[in-house]
Amino acid sequence: MQVAGLAGWAFPVVTQWGPRWELKARPPWEVAVTQLATLPVIVDGVSVIAGTGGGLYWLVPGLVLLAGVENAWVLLVEIMR
């Protein structure tokens, strides 16, 4: 679970910062939404291993946020093509 959460967090970080770690011209809210969408999945993995903190209950909001970001991208960008 942590591997999926960390991969889901690392991909937006690399795409938003670029290869030279210079922040591309993106609105701050866009960076915050994509980073916060992956946070519940990472918390889920850590809480499952620790055995406290809600465990798999964190997975539901994480998947809802990730699906929402993906669907918003498809609706705003892909349909315009």
Per-residue pLDDT of 50-77, as tens digits, reads 888 888 888 888 778 778 877 887 788 7
- Take residue 47 and report the two structure tokens written for it: 């809480």
Q: pLDDT category, 25, cuts 50, 70, 90?
A: low
The domain in which residue 39 lies consists of 2-78
Q: pLDDT category, 24, cuts 50, 70, 90?
A: low
pTM reported for the whole predicted model:
0.59
Q: Residues 6 or more apart from 68 whose CB is under 8 A from it?
A: 37
- Take residue 14 and report the two structure tokens written for it: 């690399």
Structural domain total, the chain: 1
Q: Identify which of 71, 68, 18, 17 has the alpha carbon closest to the alpha carbon of residue 40.
A: 68
